[in-house]
Amino acid sequence: MHRLTGIGASPGVAVGRAVLLMQSPLVLRFPIQPGQVPGELARLDDACERSRQEIRDIKARVARGAASDLGYLFEAQLLMIDDPMLAARARELVSGELVNAEWAVQQAFEELSSVFAAVEDPYLHERRGDVADVAGRLRMNLGRARGRGVHLFRDVEEGSVLVADELTPSMAAQVDWRKILGFASDAGSPTHHTAILARSLHVPAVVGLGSASRSVPPGALVVIDGASGEVLVDPPEDLLAEARRRVTARPRPGWEPPVPLRDTALTADGVPVALEANIELPDDAAAARSAGATGIGLYRSEFLLAMTPASAVTEDAQFAAYRALAEAMAPGPVTVRTFDLDDSQVRSWEAGAAEPFDARVTAGTSGALGLRAVRLSPAMPEVFKAQLRALLRASRHGRLRIMFPFVSGVEQLREAKAALREAAAELEARGERVPPLPPIGVMIEIPSAAVTADLLAREADFFSIGTNDLIQFSLAVDRTDARVSRLFEPLHPAVLRTLRLIIRAASRRRLPVSLCGEMAADPDLLPLLVGLGLTSFSMSPTAIPGARAVVERLDTAAARRLASRAMRQATVADVARCLARRRARPNGTTRQPAADTGGTSGSR
């Protein structure tokens, strides 16, 4: 057995046979049965023949054009396909190691590439690029037969666990989670969208493992413990039996009958605290209701695109999805965040008309600071306005609220509101009845928005604090990078001061303010947040019952004293000690002299 330790990203235990996924390049590795070998070899032969034909066509095209003297490069590529170390070696791996053809090609490519890398001759050294090109073409042609997304997992056995180098949110949204019981990945952090999605789907997950995808053999029996962050590979019988006892049945999304909405939670001294849900899929509304959510505080609408080809996400299809969600949560409110994507994601989604787009949603440094979310709307007004028209139409069927992500200042809020007015005018021009505009909110998740929250508060109807991005940008810590996840500190005094600034700005204008980052899901932090003046939170449905229990035991005067004390601390460790001291008291409250009861914000 070997034991790997990462970061627990979604609680629960899963036990299953490992299936490996390499996103860079995208290669799935799984064991096959001896009876499947002939079929797998036939697919490989077919991909070789297709690739030969394509390369011959490219060579002929090149010969007719300005670079006619480069035809020899493709002659060399044709020879590479038939090199005994590529296709023939892949055939050998399929039959000898009983692995799927895509993986066999990847393995053969890596072996051949290392031979080229080792030779002194600079010409041969350079040929590695051609080998990569040929291997990529073979994989693409194998992929054509198997497809992507959900189809990619078609031949994977039920009861598997996925071990990936990286699992992007869009790929995670396409995984068939009835077959895949849990996942472990080399990259990632608890606030990465994939981890958030895993929690809402109740899929046990461990991320930030570093090199699990290289050390776990396909088909190995794997235990994933999403609470402790441990992954056991081929554990002995006693540990396996113990893990199996701890496996919990996963609620199947969408099967629950609609349950009545719970009443708003009240603190011990009678202050109402709204506990709403963050969801990524419209089907999650049922899970949110049964978890006791009184509304949806954040629907990450871009996941609608991750799961569906562009041609199918029409204005009408969006209208149907938003309306169904509003009706599923009635009479509770539903806050739809407009698409939080970057331009390359939108383009790849639009370009791949027949395929769901396969790009990272708002994660990583490439998209995180680029042409993203509301910044994108002037460049791609039609994508944005189709969404706004759909939202306006759906707002007639429930309590919809529209929220703009990634607003950095008042100009962007004005632009987004202008687009909304244009969308309303377009509906009117089509002869449709336009409802009164729904409440318009701003996600406060960029430090510049936090600092100008008083200005934004004059022009918005509500705020929702996105601590996942706010912390990453305030502390300059990439939230998707496991190597720095230790520095992602919700209790950093800078973060607490920023929160206080936003809450005070909202409070002065009596603007509702909620917190929808993952910080809300940590029951240990809730008393501090209530003490800072927040009385509305949105979190993964799974975190709601725990949050309700904390709220019901909480005394708001004591929470304010706690916040007051925490705000005076200089380091994360000191703040954490304040919170730990509160937890150690029998009723979880703090006793302080009257002079310390001022609180830190105008709680409403």
Measured N-to-C along each axis, helices 128-146 and 37-64 cross at an angle, to the nearest 10 degrees, of 120
490 touches ligand PEP (CB under 6 A): no
467 touches ligand PEP (CB under 6 A): yes
Spell out the residues 6+ positions from residue 516 whose beta carbon is closer than 8 angstroms to its own.
276, 278, 297, 298, 443, 464, 465, 466, 537, 538, 539
CA dihedral 100, 105, 111, 112 (to 10 degrees): 160
- Among residues 315, 445, 481, 518, which is the contact residue for Mg ion, using CB under 5 A? 445
CB nearer to ligand PEP: give 267 or 538. 538
Dihedral sign from CA coordinates of 474, 478, 482, 483: negative
- Among residues 149, 466, 531, 533, which is the contact residue for Mg ion, using CB under 5 A? 466
Measured distance CA(158)–CA(175) in Å, rounded: 12
- Among residues 441, 466, 531, 541, which is the contact residue for ligand PEP, using CB under 6 A? 466
300 touches ligand PEP (CB under 6 A): yes
Phi, psi of 204 (to 5 degrees): -60, 135
Cα separation values, 326 from 14, 254, 279, 317, 537, Å: 33, 15, 13, 14, 19
Site for ligand PEP in 80-99 (CB under 6 A): none
**The token pair that represents 298 in the structure block:** 């954040």
Measured distance CA(10)–CA(454) in Å, rounded: 36
CB nearer to ligand PEP: give 392 or 516. 516
CB nearer to Mg ion: give 445 or 481. 445
- Among residues 23, 168, 468, 540, which is the contact residue for ligand PEP, using CB under 6 A? 468
280 touches Mg ion (CB under 5 A): no
202 catalytic, yes or no? no
Task: Compute how many residues bind ligand PEP; rule: CB under 6 A.
Answer: 11
Measured distance CA(377)–CA(380) in Å, rounded: 5
189 touches ligand PEP (CB under 6 A): no
Using the contact rule CB under 6 A, the part of the chain among 213-221, 226-234, 381-389, 463-471 near ligand PEP is 463-471
CB nearer to Mg ion: give 284 or 469. 469
Q: Which residue is nearest to ligand PEP (CB)?
A: 466
Measured distance CA(153)–CA(77) in Å, rounded: 30
- What string of H, E and C letters represents the secondary structure of 330-389? CCCEEEEECCCCEHHHHHHHHHCCCCCCCCCCCCHHHHHCCCEHHHHCCCCHHHHHHHHH
Strand boundaries in 147-267, DSSP class E: 160-164, 180-185, 205-207, 221-225, 230-233, 265-266
Measured distance CA(513)–CA(192) in Å, rounded: 23
Measured distance CA(1)–CA(346) in Å, rounded: 44
Using the contact rule CB under 6 A, the part of the chain among 42-50, 55-63, 373-381, 462-470 near ligand PEP is 462-470
Task: For residue 535, give the nearest of 265, 295, 263 by alpha carbon.
Answer: 265
Q: From the list Mg ion, ligand PEP, none, which binds 467 (C-beta under 5 to 8 Å, kind-based)?
A: ligand PEP
- Among residues 141, 318, 345, 362, which is the contact residue for ligand PEP, using CB under 6 A? 362
Q: From the list ligand PEP, Mg ion, none, which binds 235 (C-beta under 5 to 8 Å, kind-based)?
A: none
CB nearer to Mg ion: give 12 or 466. 466
Spell out the residues 6+ positions from residue 411 whose beta carbon is closer than 8 angstroms to its own.
none
Closest separation in Å from C-beta 303 to ligand PEP: 10
List the catalytic residue out of 192, 193, 202, 492.
193
297 touches ligand PEP (CB under 6 A): no
Contact 298, 403 (CB under 8 A): yes
- Chain centroid to Cα 19, Å, comes to 20
Query: What is the SS3 assignment for 569?
Result: coil
Using the contact rule CB under 6 A, the part of the chain among 103-111, 208-216, 461-469, 588-596 near ligand PEP is 461-469
48 catalytic, yes or no? no
CB nearer to Mg ion: give 186 or 302. 302
Closest separation in Å from C-beta 517 to ligand PEP: 3
478 touches Mg ion (CB under 5 A): no
560 touches ligand PEP (CB under 6 A): no
Q: From the list ligand PEP, Mg ion, none, which binds 548 (C-beta under 5 to 8 Å, kind-based)?
A: none
CB nearer to ligand PEP: give 204 or 517. 517
Residues that bind Mg ion (CB under 5 A): 445, 466, 469
Residues annotated as catalytic are 193, 516
Residues that bind ligand PEP (CB under 6 A): 298, 300, 340, 362, 445, 466-469, 516-517
